[in-house]
Structure 1
Amino acid sequence: MENKKSGLSFLWLSAVAFCLDLLTKYIVVQNFELYESVNVLPVFNLTYVRNYGAAFSFLADHDGWQKYFFIILAVVISAILVCFLAKNPANRKLQNSAYALIIGGALANMVDRIYHGFVVDFFDFYWKTWHYPVFNVADIMICVGAGLLALDAFKNPEKKKA
């Protein structure tokens, strides 16, 4: 019987993304007051904010149900992606890396929601008076994962069967 390695071997990347995100959030919470901002570059600040919603504060102004919705969503999506990793061969590196990064980011933001009741965000990019929504390492991991999935789709299009 041949022992084939699955995409589950990429879960180490999820652990790295998860730990890196929670470590950076811990550093921010321990060293910044809420809304405190430190200018790093002419277009970039480190600014501690709390996000009670999802991306771009989506649903942040609701009465709290969204916290549980996003926790459940993170668990369901992560479970589905773990199943995808289990079915994928290890040589599908782009796709497996993408799934792993998304899992790590989603679970890190979920832990934040469970522990704090909100997600800690701190990367603040801006131009003059325009500010991009503040985000964190987990958000970067999720976006990089989504980008890798798109790249994989273009690089390895599935051949249609006649």
Structure 2
Amino acid sequence: MRNPTPWFLISVVIIVLDQVSKYAITQSFALGEGVAITSFFNLVLAYNTGAAFSFLANAGGWQKVFFAGIAVVASVVMFYLLHKHYQERLFSFAISLILGGAVGNLIDRVVLGHVVDFLDFYAAGYHFPAFNVADSAITVGAALLIWDSFKKPVDKS
């Protein structure tokens, strides 16, 4: 690859998919309303003012600015990493997914004051907290970063 543009386009695709899906859900459901799709998957409209798994969701409001700030700083770092390492395909793909997810959720925090979640899964009697397309991209990107870290040779100097 000759430049980082394709990696940024992947991030933009994630942002668009995330925002379009959140818009569709918010137009179709009231808060807390849902519909069973399968025996293990529901669509449900939920708002998250905290971080992953609603961490600090009831912290009084300061967490919104805090998490938005973290997302901005992380996005700047990922933008830099994509410019510096755009030739590294797996690493750059992972960072592109994480960047798209981070910006998708950042848009929610800034515009709405909360993140819209709607994918609701059950497995073996366990109810997984609702999440969204941005969260999915972040999770897949993080897993790919871990995989990429195992593929790189260890410097023995």
Correspondence for 2:23: 26
**Within 2, Cα distance between the matches of 1:18 and 1:151?**
24
**Within 2, Cα distance between the matches of 1:86 and 1:100?**
11
Q: Which amino acid aligns with 1:43?
A: F
Asked if the contact 1:8–1:85 (Cα under 8 Å) also holds between the matched residues in 2, the reply is: no
Correspondence for 1:94: 90
Q: Does 1:138 align with 2:128?
A: no
Correspondence for 1:35: 32
Corresponding pairs, count? 157
Deviation of residue 6 (structure 1)?
A: 3.8
Q: Does 1:64 align with 2:65?
A: no
Asked if the contact 2:7–2:86 (Cα under 8 Å) also holds between the matched residues in 1, the reply is: no
- Greater radius of gyration (CA): 1
Aligned counterpart for 1:85 among listed residues 82, 85, 94 = 82
- What are the Cα deviations for residues 108-127 of structure 1, in whole angstroms up to 9, with x where unaligned? 10100111110000011114
TM-score using structure 2 length: 0.95
- What are the Cα deviations for residues 33-77 of structure 1, in whole angstroms up to 9, with x where unaligned? 111110001011001010010100001011101000111111100
**Within 1, Cα distance between the matches of 2:150 and 2:124?**
36
The root-mean-square deviation of aligned C-alpha atoms, in Å, is 1.4
Deviation of residue 129 (structure 1)?
A: 5.3
Deviation of residue 7 (structure 1)?
A: 3.5
Correspondence for 1:13: 10
Q: Which amino acid aligns with 1:37?
A: G
Asked if the contact 1:46–1:124 (Cα under 8 Å) also holds between the matched residues in 2, the reply is: yes
Deviation of residue 15 (structure 1)?
A: 0.2
Any stretches of 5+ residues in structure 2 without a counterpart?
A: none
Deviation of residue 9 (structure 1)?
A: 3.4
Q: Which amino acid aligns with 2:155?
A: K
Any stretches of 5+ residues in structure 1 without a counterpart?
A: none
